[in-house]
Each structure stands twice: as C-alpha cells, then as structure tokens.
Structure 1
Amino acid sequence: MMEVMIVIRCGSAPVPTVLGEHPRVEVSAVPTKEEVTRALSEVGTRRRLVVCGTDAGLSALLTRLMRTENLDVEIAYVADEPTPATRAYGLPTGSEAAKLGVRGSAREVPLVRDDTGTALVGEATVRGPEGGHLVGEAYADDNRVFSGEIDALTVRPTPDLPGVVATAARPRWLRRRPWLAARAVQLGTEAGLLTRDGVTGRRAVKRTTFYRHTEPWRLVSP
C-alpha cells in the first residue's frame, strides 16, 4: 500500500513519523466541502486515505466520499487520543494507528448516516435545550428505546450488522436502559439539541434518524 497512500491532516493534528514519507494534504480541523473535494482531487489513483484528526474531521471526509460515490476508497484513521470512533471500531491511536494505516488491511463496515446525509463515525447525543431533559420517544427498528422524559439519547455505529446501537439515559434516580441494536434509530421530540461526532448543532431539532446506508465503507482495522 506504500505507493497508493495519501495522508490527510485535519487542522493541527499530529502526524506520526511513520507517515512522513507519504504525500500529504492539509485541510481544516473540520474540513469544508471544498477542502474535501480538493483533497480527493489530489488522491488520483491512490486508493487509501490516512486521516489524521478528530472524529469530526473523519466524518466530514466520509460524508463527502458517500455523496460522491467514492466509498471504494480505503480509510485509515489516526487519532492522537482515544475517541468514540476509535472505541466503536476497536482502533489504536497515535503511532500504532499510523502503523496500522500503512500495513493493515481494510474491511467493509456499515456506514451510519442521518437524514441530512451526514455520516456518523463515533457518537451522537441528543439532549434537551439549555441542559434540560429530552422529551419525546425513540425507536431502534421496532423496539422502543424510550418514551417520555430522559437525560439524553445516545447513538453509536457498530463495526458489524445491523450497524447502529442506541440507549437512553434516564433521570439519575432511575437505571440506564440497555443498548439496542438496529438498522435505524428514529427520534421524535419537542426540541432536542443534537451533538454529532463532537459538533453541536445551532438549532434544536424535532426529528432525527440515524440509519445504515445502502453501501458500507472500507476501514483499515486490526
């Protein structure tokens, strides 16, 4: 894979020494559509991207690959510290992640997206506005995740089918509900503040859905 790799550095993310000899493209910490398009134009015949950055940067890149129908590109993720995405997919960090990116093999994993066409790589949480409780109901396929009032809804991708899991954190005096696996998780609420891969939306939402895309993506993993 040595001759077909390109490193995409998001913001000021550290780039381990083992990646120093490979071509590199610099983008913002959370790359814009234009930056990702430019980066992909420089990929050429290279079929592996090594992304150094955060979950938000990886999500932005994967979202663009999905929208441009380039999901055959292999992606290696190099985070400096553990993140929800590294935990979800069992990935190493730092120099060990870089070594995996160079020498590892890619496998297909479910691609989880929301109804805005944005990929989810680590974790999404929905809370009530201004720190209050979240009021509404959510379903994981046909199974009810919650109905009523909770502290937060949490959704994560999984490396295996069906692709997504969800749980509801009840008010502290009640026990936490178990994780439910599904192809899709749907939420309806009076008002919810959505944080996706570390980026919080500016406006409250009344509905959101996370579900497995029709095509997988190719992740370099242990």
Structure 2
Amino acid sequence: MIVIRCGSAPVPTVLGEHPRIEVSEVPDKDEINRALAEVGTRRRLLVCGTDAGLATLLTRLMRSENLDVEVAYIAEEDTPATRAYGLPTGSAAAKLGVQGQAHEVPLVRDETGAVLVGEATVAGPRGELLVGEAYADDDKVFSGEVPTLTVRVSRDFPGVRATVEKPRRFRRRRWFTARAVQFGSPGALITRDGITARRPVKRTTFYRHVEPLRLVLP
C-alpha cells in the first residue's frame, strides 16, 4: 500500500507507517506518472484528497490501463463521491482503506476520457437557464429549458443517475438511472467534481466505462 496525498489534504495517523507520495491538489499528468512509477508493484493506493484529485488520478489509471490497481479514498469530510459510494471520512476512511476489501463498481467517464467520481452539474452560461435536451439511455430527462441538469455516479449498475432542477411548484425530482446520459445544447457550462470548465460546450456524454473501478468499500 502507498499513500498519495493531494495538496494539503490531512493524512490520518493510522496511515503514518505507509510510504507517501505528495502531489498537487489536482495533479497533472506528469505528477501522476511519477507517482505511478514510484508505486511499483504495490497494488493499493490510499488517496487522501478531494473528489477532483481522485478523479484526475483515476483518469490516468484508466488511460494507462492500470485499473487493476485497488483504490481507497480518504476524504476529510463528506463529498458527492463519498455519498455516491457510501464511504466514511477521516480516520474511519483510513482504517477502511487499510483493512477493507476492494469491490468492483462502475467507473463513470465522459467522451473525452475524463473520469467522474461524484457529481457533475450542467448549467446555462452566465447564469441563464439551461437550454437543450438530455437522455438517460432511451429515457428523456428533459427537453426545453431547466435551471440545471445533475449527473451523479452510482456504486450500483448501470452506474449513472440524472435529474433536473424543476420549478418550485414541483417539489419532487425524478431520478433516471442509466448506463449513459447524453446532453445537447446551444451552449452549457459543466462543473465536474467541483471544477467548472473554462468554456461552454454543445454536447457531452457521461457513461459507464467497459472496465470497473476496484474501490475499497465498507
């Protein structure tokens, strides 16, 4: 086992005896490549950081065909990813990372090859309503104008969940489960795991990768 610390993320004392690699809060490709080179034959990574840092690491594992590596996520506090996978936080997460077993869960990505570990939101540019349409497999999530589209990862198959924010008179949202969620718009801003894209896009797809993630779970 080896600890990968992203930025200034706290490292619980239970992990003190394990070797540690320091990377940026959201590491770039070169940092991750150096980290993976140091990992060597170790087959479990204990990742201390944020959803964005974890997503960046998993993106590189996927692209470099290293998804056989087991991953434990140690977040300081509750996040969309910990909620999606039912993970504890802090010291409890560290103990689970050392003692727990890895299970195969869906790995969600987009068409650019970037992994999503928690939640993505799609909104109109400059605070405007989101215009377009979205499908979860064959089900229409929305068509027309809505405040936002939300896509979340699920630990259960098929792997992706989607919903839209509705006017206040409609209190309950409907969640659609699918292998893939496709979206099209004249222009929309996507926030993935807390990181907002610099430029609007006209379309995107979040879908379950052909290989699963080997994640340490309770």
Q: Bin the TM-score by the shorter chain.
A: over 0.9
Mapped partners of 1:160, 1:173: distance in 2? 31
Secondary structure, counterpart of 2:96 in structure 1: helix
Which of these residues, 183, 197, 203, is aligned with residue 187 of structure 1? Answer: 183
| Count of matched residue pairs | 218
| Structure 1 counterpart of 2:68, from 64, 69, 72 | 72
For 2:56, the aligned partner's letter is A
Per the alignment, residue 160 of structure 1 pairs with 156
Question: SS at 1:137's partner residue?
Answer: strand
Alpha-carbon distance in 1 for matches of 2:28, 2:35: 11
Cα distance in 2, alignment partners of residues 174 and 133 from structure 1 = 17
Does the 8 Å contact 1:127/1:193 carry over to 2?
yes
C-alpha contact (below 8 Å) 1:149/1:170 kept by paired residues:
no
What is the distance in 1 between the residues matched to 2:187 and 2:209? 26
Q: Secondary structure at the match of 1:107?
A: strand
Q: In structure 2, what residue type is equivalent to 1:152?
A: T
The offset of 1:176, in angstroms, is 4.5
Q: What are the Cα deviations for residues 58-104 of structure 1, in whole angstroms up to 9, with x where unaligned?
A: 00000000000000000000000000000000000000000000000
- Select which of 75, 79, 86 maps to 1:83: 79
**Alpha-carbon separation, structure 2, partners of 1:23 and 1:135:** 49
Matches within 5 A, 1:50-199: 50-199=46-195
Instruction: Give the drift of 1:160.
Output: 1.2
Is 1:38 matched with 2:34? yes
**Runs of 5+ consecutive residues of structure 2 not aligned to the other structure:** none
Q: 2:129 and 2:34 mapped to 1: Cα distance?
A: 42
Give TM-score, length-normalised by structure 2.
Answer: 0.98
* Matching residue of 2:44: 48
Secondary structure, in 3 states, of the residue corresponding to 2:83? Answer: helix
Give the AA of the match of 2:206.
F
What runs of 5+ residues in structure 1 fail to find an aligned partner?
none
Give the 3-state SS of the residue equivalent to 1:14 in structure 2: coil
Please give the root-mean-square deviation of Cα atoms over the aligned residues, in Å. 0.8
**Letter of the structure 2 residue corresponding to residue 76 of structure 1:** A
Structure 1 residues 153 and 176: alpha-carbon distance in aligned structure 2, compared to 1, 3 A threshold: farther
Larger CA deviation: 17-26 vs 163-172: 163-172
> Percent sequence identity over matched residues?
74
The amino acid across from 2:190 in the alignment is L
**Pair 1:10-2:6 in alignment:** yes
Q: What TM-score do the two structures reach when normalised by structure 1?
A: 0.97
Amino acid at match of 1:80: E
| Aligned-partner Cα distance in 1 for 2:169–2:190 | 24
Q: Alignment partner for residue 210 of structure 1, among 187, 195, 206?
A: 206
CA distance in 2, matches of 1:10, 1:160: 27
CA distance in 1, matches of 2:32, 2:133: 36
Contact 1:169 1:176 in 2 (8 A): no
Alpha-carbon distance change, 148 to 175 in structure 1, aligned in 2, over 3 angstroms: farther
